[in-house]
């Protein structure tokens, strides 16, 4: 009987083991079958696709990801909160002990303690062996060129989400979600190649910074544009910020003045009025306008800054930047025709590019006779500076409006979206006026600082609105030019905010004394970089020879 009972117990034990093994085997099989599905569900939460590199048009890296570690904790596994705080702050003293205690006492399984710890901090904390504390591998966005092209690139937050510039554009376009999640080595999306040329960007930024400093301006901005493809080769707005430390990016003084700001560009807009009048046939280069007396419109009197007080030819109106002559052109066109032309060239609409930061123009509340007259010389409505240079580029490239872009563009695709705004013959006339202005008019200092590059351009000096009124002591000076004018390829804009008279400007602070020479220096630096060979006139060769002789004499 005893022997039988022993056999029964043995069978019972064996049966128990068999049941346990069966349960384990079933669970193992279940996990094996469900593992791929579990992996597919968990991957998006645990693995983040690295952001694409951003490069300039020649492949220079402007933004990339690097691997970093971030510190986290499971408060439920913290054994001694006080000891954990003491150990962690000994390694990372900038951690706030009050905030750290709040995090470590939460009833949660996961809290961030510090994002992006250094390798030294990681190793030191690891050696401490604090229970419930661990690290997660992440990526950090870095910008190897620092501040260069900051307003174009934009920046990201601590979770690597684009908040401005091209970084935000890529997020909005879904560029971060096109790579495969199954192979970490293939999870980097293709680089985003910009139209920016870092060499040109550096030259432009350097010259704008020098001009801001020399003329004691509040701010400065500039653009270099390929007038045939619409590619922005450089964009600068100073002051700027470092996208590696974007804490200052939201300060008003650091805004991107080229697309986020709108300004009255003053006499630069006269180029649009001239193109309108020439294209609609109300005048030609042989036309004349009476500038002997101020132009009276209602209760307003239009005067010239440098009044000639005589009848001016159309080229002379351009050279002397006559408000009176330009306003008369607009009156000849008429209210409806003037408004229609401004709409045709896009100055009544918000300009959109890849940069999300784009301001709408400030327009007259009512399109009246006086609104038309003042708009003719750039007074009373404000646009993005990028918008201004884009329109001028179209006036000089044969009459085709090419939308600007910050992405590298194939020249063969331009025809698909370019629109004609003026006749080719009108564009030839505008090129003649621009070149003439650099030789004999208000843009002379641009040509003098870029000998051989056949510069042409239009100047602008606009009074700023201070406390609701125009102030004669607060100016925005600008210059939009192009080169070489026999076959224009590139347009350049330089803008200075409240430049001051300095030694050598004889008390003047208008565009011809500051923005114009700065633009000339930009062109002389970027011309060789862009492969534009200088062509010297006999007079220019003589000037160069005299300078060489003088240098040898010293």
Mean pLDDT of 140-164: 94
Q: Inform me whether the pLDDT recorded for 28 exceeds 80.
A: no
- pTM summary value: 0.83
Mean pLDDT of 469-493: 94
Can you give the pLDDT at residue 551?
77
Q: Inform me whether the pLDDT recorded for 162 exceeds 50.
A: yes
Nearest to 430 by CA among 302, 213, 268: 268
Mean pLDDT of 250-271: 94
Distance CA 169, CA 162 (A): 8
Mean pLDDT of 141-152: 96
Q: Which residues pair with 312 in a beta bridge?
A: 289
Can you give the pLDDT at residue 312?
97
Identify the band that residue 524 occupies on the pLDDT scale cut at 50, 70 and 90: very high
Least confident of 133-137, 203-207, 278-282, 375-379: 133-137
Distance CA 117, CA 111 (A): 15
Can you give the pLDDT at residue 26?
52
The full set of domains in the chain, from first to last, is: 67-142 (3.90.1310.10), 198-546 (3.40.710.10)
Q: Is the previous residue joined to 239 through a cis bond, with omega within 30 degrees of 0?
A: yes
* Cβ neighbours for 305, distance < 8 A, ≥ 6 positions apart: 321, 323, 461, 510
Across 111-182, the runs of DSSP E, i.e. the strands, are 111-117, 133-142
Given a contact cutoff of 8 angstroms between Cβ atoms, the answer to whether 323 and 303 are in contact is yes
Least confident of 32-36, 331-335, 392-396: 32-36
Q: How many residues does the chain have?
A: 554
Identify the band that residue 179 occupies on the pLDDT scale cut at 50, 70 and 90: very low
Can you give the pLDDT at residue 27?
54
Rounded-to-10 torsion of CA 172, 175, 179, 185: -120
The b/e string for 394-407 (b: 16+ C-beta within 10 A; e otherwise) is bbbbbbbbbebbbb
Best mean pLDDT range from 15-24, 217-226, 301-310: 217-226
Can you give the pLDDT at residue 324?
97
Can you state the angle between helices 385-396 and 270-279, rounded to 10 degrees?
40
Can you give the pLDDT at residue 448?
94
- Half-sphere exposure (CA, 13 Å, Cβ side) for 355? 30
Can you give the pLDDT at residue 541?
85
Phi, psi of 355 (to 5 degrees): -75, 125
Q: Inform me whether the pLDDT recorded for 375 exceeds 80.
A: yes
Can you give the pLDDT at residue 395?
98
Identify the band that residue 189 occupies on the pLDDT scale cut at 50, 70 and 90: low
Q: How far is CA 226 from CA 238, 346, 490, in A?
A: 22, 19, 5
Q: Is the previous residue joined to 484 through a cis bond, with omega within 30 degrees of 0?
A: yes
Average pLDDT for the chain: 88
Identify the band that residue 469 occupies on the pLDDT scale cut at 50, 70 and 90: confident
Mean pLDDT of 204-211: 98
Can you give the pLDDT at residue 176?
52
Can you give the pLDDT at residue 488?
97
Tens-digit pLDDT profile for residues 42-59 = 333 344 567 899 999 999
The structure tokens 């974007």 sit at: 246
Can you give the pLDDT at residue 165?
96
Catalytic sites, residue numbers: 267
Q: Inform me whether the pLDDT recorded for 412 exceeds 90.
A: no
Can you give the pLDDT at residue 118?
84
Q: Inform me whether the pLDDT recorded for 41 exceeds 80.
A: no
Identify the band that residue 32 occupies on the pLDDT scale cut at 50, 70 and 90: very low
């Amino acid at each position: 009987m005893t022997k039988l009972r022993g056999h029964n117990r043995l069978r019972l034990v064996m049966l128990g083991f068999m049941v346990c093994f069966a349960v384990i085997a079933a669970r193992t099989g279940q996990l094996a079958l469900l593992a791929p599905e579990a992996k597919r569900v968990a991957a998006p939460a645990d693995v983040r696709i690295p952001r694409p590199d951003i490069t300039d048009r020649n492949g220079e890296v402007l933004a990339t990801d690097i691997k970093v570690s971030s510190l986290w904790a499971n408060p439920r596994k913290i054994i001694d909160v006080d000891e954990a705080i003491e150990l962690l702050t000994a390694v990372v003293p900038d951690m706030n002990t009050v905030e750290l205690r709040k995090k470590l006492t939460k009833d949660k399984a996961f809290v961030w303690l510090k994002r992006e710890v250094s390798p030294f901090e990681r190793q030191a904390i690891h050696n401490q062996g604090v229970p419930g504390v661990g690290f997660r591998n992440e990526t950090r966005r870095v910008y190897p060129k620092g501040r260069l092209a900051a307003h174009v690139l934009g920046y990201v937050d601590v979770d690597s989400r684009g908040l401005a510039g091209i970084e935000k554009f890529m997020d909005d376009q879904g560029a971060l979600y096109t790579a495969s999640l199954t192979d970490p080595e293939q999870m980097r999306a293709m680089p985003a190649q910009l139209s920016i040329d870092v060499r040109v960007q550096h030259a432009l930024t350097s010259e704008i910074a020098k001009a801001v400093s020399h003329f004691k301006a509040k701010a400065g901005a500039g653009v270099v544009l390929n007038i045939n493809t619409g590619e922005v080769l450089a964009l600068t707005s100073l002051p700027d910020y470092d996208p590696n430390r974007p804490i200052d990016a939201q300060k008003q003084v650091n805004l991107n003045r080229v697309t986020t700001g709108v300004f009255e560009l003053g006499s630069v807009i006269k180029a649009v009025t001239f193109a309108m009048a020439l294209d609609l046939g109300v005048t030609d280069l042989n036309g004349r306008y009476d500038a002997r007396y101020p132009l009276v419109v209602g209760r307003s009197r239009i005067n010239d800054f440098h009044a000639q007080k005589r009848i001016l030819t159309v080229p002379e109106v351009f050279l002397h930047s006559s408000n009176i002559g330009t306003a008369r052109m607009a009156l000849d066109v008429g209210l409806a025709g003037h408004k229609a032309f401004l709409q045709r060239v896009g100055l009544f609409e918000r300009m959109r590019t890849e940069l999300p930061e784009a301001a709408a123009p400030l327009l007259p509340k009512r399109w009246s006779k006086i609104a038309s007259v003042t708009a003719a010389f750039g007074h009373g409505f404000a646009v993005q500076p990028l918008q201004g240079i884009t329109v001028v580029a179209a006036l000089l490239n044969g009459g085709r409006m090419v939308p600007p872009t910050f992405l590298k563009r194939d020249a063969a695709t331009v025809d698909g979206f370019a629109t004609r705004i003026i006749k080719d013959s009108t564009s030839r006339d505008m090129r003649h006026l621009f070149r003439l202005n650099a030789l004999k008019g208000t843009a002379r200092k641009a040509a003098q600082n870029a000998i051989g590059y056949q510069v042409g351009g239009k100047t602008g000096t606009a009074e700023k609105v201070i406390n609701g009124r125009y102030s004669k002591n607060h100016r925005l000076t600008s210059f939009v030019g192009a080169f070489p004018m026999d076959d224009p390829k590139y347009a350049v804009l330089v803008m200075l905010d409240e430049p001051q008279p300095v030694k050598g400007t004889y008390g003047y602070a208008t565009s011809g004394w500051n923005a114009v020479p700065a633009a000339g220096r930009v062109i002389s630096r970027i011309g060789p970089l862009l492969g534009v060979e200088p062509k010297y006139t006999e007079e220019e060769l003589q000037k160069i020879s005299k300078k060489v002789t003088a240098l040898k004499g010293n």
